[in-house]
Structures are given as C-alpha cells and as structure tokens.
Amino acid sequence: MKDHSVILILALLLLAGCSKGKVESRLYPGVPLYAPINPGNVEILRSAPSRPYQRMGEIHIQPHDNPSQKEILKKFKKAAAEMGADAVILVADKSMLTGGPVADPKWWNGKLNPGSDKDIVGVAIWYSKAAW
C-alpha cells in the first residue's frame, strides 16, 4: 500500500508540473465584453485575417519546462474563449514552441515581458459579424 501511495504522489506531481506555465490575459481599454465561447471554436492564426475584426486584448504565456505545441495552443484557445474571442493571432514566440512563424512584428506594437526567454504572445480578436 505504501508503494502505491508514493507512485500516486509522484504521478500527481508530474501532472502538476505539466500544467505549469503563467497565462495572463489583458483586455484593451474600451473593448466591449463578450460572452465566453467554447475553446474548440477559437482559431489560431499566424497572420491577420482578411475579414473584418476587432482586437480585443493580449494573451501572454510563459511556459515552464518544454510543453508541447498542442498544450500551448490549448492554453491560448482557453484564454481567448474566456474573453469571447473568435481567434488568436500569434504575434511573438521567443520559445519557438508554437511550431511556425508568427504575425509580422509591425502588426503588433506590444512588449514582451522583461527577462523572459520563453514569452509567447497572441492577440485575441473578435470577427465583426456585421460585415459578413
């Protein structure tokens, strides 16, 4: 029984370590609040879309250890869904964990967190439905 308890504790610590990582969401001033949506409906983009949209805010992720691309993108989708965003445009990835290029740096005038060598940033957007 004692061996099972040690294994259970180690497994829980391992799972807790996998989910570590700081996620910060910041709405831009004056942006309307939208109801949360299903994270599965949030798109991950690497450039601005061609259809009309509104920038809602930023999502900053500072991963710990080396999470998979899937884990990082899941965190972006969850944070964006809580904001009611339709998509996240990846704009900075110092960690190189998102698996590809990000939007043109000129498109985003934000700042990375100082001292982080793994900062990943996305801009949450809401598609302007009236223009569809």
**What pTM, to 2 d.p., does this model score?**
0.78
Within a domain: 107: yes
Most distant CA pair in the chain: distance in Å?
A: 63
Within a domain: 9: no
Name the amino acid, one letter, at 3. D
Within a domain: 8: no
Within a domain: 27: yes
Within a domain: 13: no
Checking if the pLDDT of 61 tops 70, the result is yes
Within a domain: 80: yes
Distance CA 31, CA 49 (A): 19
Closest by CA position to 131, among listed 53, 34, 66: 53
Within a domain: 35: yes
Domain that holds residue 119: 21-131
Please state the φ and ψ torsions of residue 102, each to the nearest 5 degrees: -115, 175
Per-residue model confidence (pLDDT) at position 70: 93
Tens-digit pLDDT profile for residues 102-121: 777 666 767 666 666 678 99
Ramachandran category for residue 53: left, alpha or beta (phi over 0 → left; psi -120 to 50 → alpha):
beta
The number of folded domains in the chain is: 1
